[in-house]
Structure 1
Amino acid sequence: MNTPLVTEAEQLVHSLAAALTEPQPAECLPCYLDRLLRTAPCDGTLRLAMRYRDAVAPRATALERRMHDRGGCCDCEILWNVYNSKSEDVFPCSGVPRGSTAACDLWEGRRR
């Protein structure tokens, strides 16, 4: 049953979800994933990484393949297999240029 109230509620939930998952200004991909995965579980996909790419670096069309090639087959595996935090505290992000999918100085690539 789709009443105007239900439709309005769904729109509100959708807009809140979009606002909560919006990357912060200059936030790098691993800091973004770390921030969001602290409050919500990984769903086994690259949903958040693709949300980041679409919002920050839409021209980075090879991001999904690059993450898969390095063992990041879902959002949490990017933090387990692709990047290693240099310390326990990775907040606040030290920043990257807009359009970049690189990690900030708080992260380093894991060696395979």
Structure 2
Amino acid sequence: MLERELAVLAFQLTTPRLRECVLCFVHRMLDEFGCDGRLRWACHWRGLRAPQATALERRLAQRGGYCDCEIFDNGWSPVGDAVTYDAAIDEWRWRGARPTCRGVRRGSSQPCCLWMQLHRPRWHP
């Protein structure tokens, strides 16, 4: 019985919210569970929300996102008015609580309007 309850809880914790974009989901999962050096959360999101987005990993890699955390280190960041720089810890932080994902249409692998691409050269493996 405990195993079943744990499986249900794990599913609830790691299921994308309704209309949640890939970047909001991955960022939320990184805060909760961290990065394991793979595109674990991006691929999990794709499998549940946009299985037809077969080029998602390639698109993320072109922006330097070879694992979940690199998506945000190299490819995308929150729009400027959503974050503030905290010099004490040398880190960008959300202004207040993390905003709710602005949502995307069903099956879309594009980020919502909370995210902007970083203007860096494209990565070529």
Is TM more than 0.5 here? yes
Please state how far the C-alpha of 1:68 moved relative to its aligned partner: 1.4
Q: More deviation in 10-19 or 90-99?
A: 10-19
Distance 1:16 1:110 in 2: 35
The two structures have a TM-score, normalised by structure 1, of 0.85
State the partner residue of 2:114: 106
Structure number having the greater strand percentage: 2
- Could you say what secondary structure the match of 2:32 adopts? coil
Distance 1:9 1:45 in 2: 29
Q: CA RMSD in A?
A: 1.3
Q: More deviation in 79-88 or 19-28?
A: 79-88
- % same residue: 44
Structure 2 portions without partners, runs of 5+: 84-93, 121-125
Please state how far the C-alpha of 1:66 moved relative to its aligned partner: 1.3
State the partner residue of 1:42: 35
Distance 2:22 2:76 in 1: 10
Q: Which amino acid aligns with 1:73?
A: Y
Distance 1:15 1:81 in 2: 34
- Could you say what secondary structure the match of 1:108 adopts? strand
Please state how far the C-alpha of 1:13 moved relative to its aligned partner: 2.0
Q: Which amino acid aligns with 2:16?
A: P
State the partner residue of 1:14: 7
Does the aligned pair in 2 maintain the 1:31–1:93 contact within 8 Å? yes
The two structures have a TM-score, normalised by structure 2, of 0.77
Distance 1:63 1:11 in 2: 32
Please state how far the C-alpha of 1:22 moved relative to its aligned partner: 0.5
